[in-house]
Structure 1
Amino acid sequence: MNNLPVTQLQMEQFKKLKTEVTRFMMMYQFALNELETKIEILKEEFHFLHDYNPIEHTKSRVKSLESMMSKISRKGIPISLDSIKNNIKDIAGLRITCSFIPDIYRIRDMLQNQFELTILEEKDYIKNPKPNGYRSLHLIVEVPVIMSDGKENVCVEIQVRTIAMDFWASLEHKIFYKYAQSVPTSLLMELKQAADAANRLDKQMERLNREISVMKENQDENYGEELTKLLMNSPQFALPAANEDNRNA
């Protein structure tokens, strides 16, 4: 069977589709770039102006077209760019790994207040872990992106978790992939125990950090008091004695 020749109209339609898909994918990449720039600025500020940086590292990704097609097939979503944008909120994803659990909520508040991002959805799997023990804070935020032909509000999924949570989630994902998601019950129980152990470690490290912070504050306060006493007793900083005229005035 001979291939039919491609008409000029079909070629134009193909070019138009390619442009629309490229713009669609770039829109999500630009949203991630915008967020990562803000996070880098925040990290630099913490590094230079504060003694402590709550952000350990970040990782981002944009779903491939194949992954999106698979998801819309599972969910029964109509195949159109508008439909995909309105129904799939995790096309762009950013993971922020923090040192301690309180840092997670601190970062969430900064994203909302300092960066003025609109949080459309929040799922707190730290206060309400999944049955398998998974813990993380999931946010769907709206990021304004300026394109050449106008502004687009782009949804990005942000996951904020501690190092221990990220370690567990990464290994759990690899185990499920190895077993093609058919993990034996005995291993599922051990994974849940490991998640609980990671949570206990998080809480222990948070307590140690809090106690060390209190000790440092006390040391700084004692040092300040000793320095003040030293200065007050030093002849160089003694107040000049009042003269006779001032005393008899």
Structure 2
Amino acid sequence: MDPDAAWHQHLTDLNHFLMVYKFGLAEINTKITILAEELTHRGSGNPIEHVNPRLKTAASITAKATRLNCPLTFDDLRARIRDIAGIRIVCSFVSDVYTVANMLTRQPDINLVATKDYIAKPKPNGYRSLHLIVEIPVFMSDRVVAVPVEVQLRTVAMDFWASLEHKIYYKHDPEVVPPRLRDELTAAAEDAARLDLRMERLHREIHGPRR
């Protein structure tokens, strides 16, 4: 096969590989949209502030595979990289994070594969979020594919801290940032966590618990 034909075939195979992740992401996004609309119409208040779906690029997949010493074959990538498709759900309050996660994972066609609760046990830098790996069936023309999707759930305050922490560290190795500044960022994460608790308490005192 000549180089041009080989490259064209590689792109075709890559697009086909990513296609099922795109479809899995669309399925999860639809489920979240339905939950948000139902809760709004029930009058109990929509706990979902906003949603951000994303599909890793080929460059991002390659970089992660390199870090994991994962061979660049589609079978290996499929087996070892479980966050090719991902969606971030930003909720109003901490309790909403767990409520939405429970609503999503108890649906019969969703298989919960793994959970990492960085709210209960934050990362050393202060990062907080609930990470789930779920599998959802995607019905293709000739088969059913169980597609893994990473679901990140966090509050507005957690999302604010994580987004700005990323910008502060952008193109900088956190290890070369002075410890004093790293400590300040961790303290800011703790401030955000306290604000989360305070705002939820105020909401509960005014409106009562969510129904």
Structure 1 contact 38–115 (Cα < 8 Å) conserved: no
C-alpha distance in structure 1 between counterparts of 2:62 and 2:87, whole Å: 21
Task: Decide which of 193, 198, 201 is 1:204's aligned counterpart.
Answer: 198
List aligned pairs for 1:2-21, cutoff 5 A.
Answer: 6=2, 11=5, 14-21=7-14
- Are the equivalent residues in 2 in contact too, given 1:125–1:137 (CA < 8 A)? yes
Number of aligned residues: 210
Q: Does structure 2 conserve the Cα–Cα contact (< 8 Å) formed by 1:72 and 1:79?
A: yes
Alignment partner for residue 154 of structure 1, among 128, 147, 153? Answer: 147
**Which sections of structure 1, spanning at least 5 residues, go unmatched?**
218-249
Larger Rg: 1
1:91-142 Cα deviation digits (max 9, x unpaired) = 1110000000010110111111136411100000001011111100000000
Higher relative contact order structure (alpha carbons within 8 Å, sequence separation ≥ 6): 2
Give runs of ≥4 in structure 1 deviating > 4 Å.
13-16
Q: Partner of 1:24 in structure 2?
A: 17
Provide the secondary structure at the position in 1 that maps to 2:208: helix
What CA RMSD, in Å, does the superposition of the two structures yield over aligned residues? 2.1
Greater alpha carbon shift after TM alignment, 23-32 vs 113-122: 113-122
Q: Which has the higher helix share?
A: 1
Provide the C-alpha distance between the structure 1 equivalents of 2:183 and 2:93, rounded to a whole number of angstroms. 25
| Unaligned segments of structure 2, at least 5 residues | none
Question: Are residues 1:188 and 2:182 paired?
Answer: yes
Matches within 5 A, 1:1-249: 6=2, 11=5, 14-114=7-107, 116-181=109-174, 182-214=176-208
Counterpart-to-counterpart distance in 1, 2:96 and 2:108? 16
Pairwise CA distance, 1:74: 1.9
Identical aligned residues as a percent = 49
Distance 2:139 2:210 in 1: 45
